[in-house]
């Protein structure tokens, strides 16, 4: 089970978002992901670890190489986020509709 809040938190960091974007290219090693980024390779490893914990990255072992890719469960996090979004929006909608109904019931 992916924790949506953790997923969204994980993407709150701009460098981590950049690392995540690079995962879309398919299975890549840490070195490949770090290439051209303004952060160190260990820092990229750390970001990958956070992304993995958040359900946004998966690791495949190929021989002696650890290759990272996007974890499709991220979409589930999006659904969860929308779920919470609609909870909030509908409660706000209900309050607005009830205010409007109360206003109309009042004699003028």
CA dihedral 37, 39, 40, 45 (to 10 degrees): -90
Q: Is the Cβ of residue 8 or residue 39 nearer to other proteins in the bound state?
A: 8
Q: Say whether residue 97 binds other proteins (CB under 8 A).
A: yes
Q: Is the Cβ of residue 42 or residue 78 nearer to other proteins in the bound state?
A: 78
Q: Is the Cβ of residue 4 or residue 34 nearer to other proteins in the bound state?
A: 4
Q: Which residues of 3-39 are buried (b: 16+ CB within 10 A; e: fewer)?
A: ebeebeebbeeeebebbbebbeeebbebeebbeeeee
Q: Say whether residue 35 binds other proteins (CB under 8 A).
A: no
Rounded to an integer, what is the distance from CA 93 to the centroid of its chain?
26
Binding other proteins (rule: CB under 8 A), the pick from 36, 63, 88, 107 is 88
Rounded to an integer, what is the distance from CA 18 to the centroid of its chain?
12
Binding other proteins (rule: CB under 8 A), the pick from 2, 3, 8, 32 is 8
The encoded tokens of residue 102 equal 């109360």
Q: Pick out residues in 42-81 that bind other proteins (CB under 8 A).
A: 70, 72, 74-79, 81
Contacting residues toward other proteins, per CB under 8 A: 7-9, 11-12, 17, 20-21, 24-26, 70, 72, 74-79, 81-98, 100-101, 104
């Amino acid at each position: 089970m992916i924790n949506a809040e953790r997923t969204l938190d994980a993407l709150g960091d701009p460098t981590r978002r950049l690392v995540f974007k690079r995962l879309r290219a398919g299975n890549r090693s840490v070195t490949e992901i770090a290439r051209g980024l303004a952060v160190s390779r260990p820092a990229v490893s750390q970001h990958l670890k956070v992304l993995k914990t958040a359900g946004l990255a998966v690791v495949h072992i190929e021989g002696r190489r650890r290759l990272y890719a996007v974890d499709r469960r991220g979409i589930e996090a999006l659904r969860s986020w929308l779920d919470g979004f609609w909870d909030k929006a509908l409660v706000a909608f209900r309050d607005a509709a009830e205010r409007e109904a109360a206003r109309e019931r009042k004699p003028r």
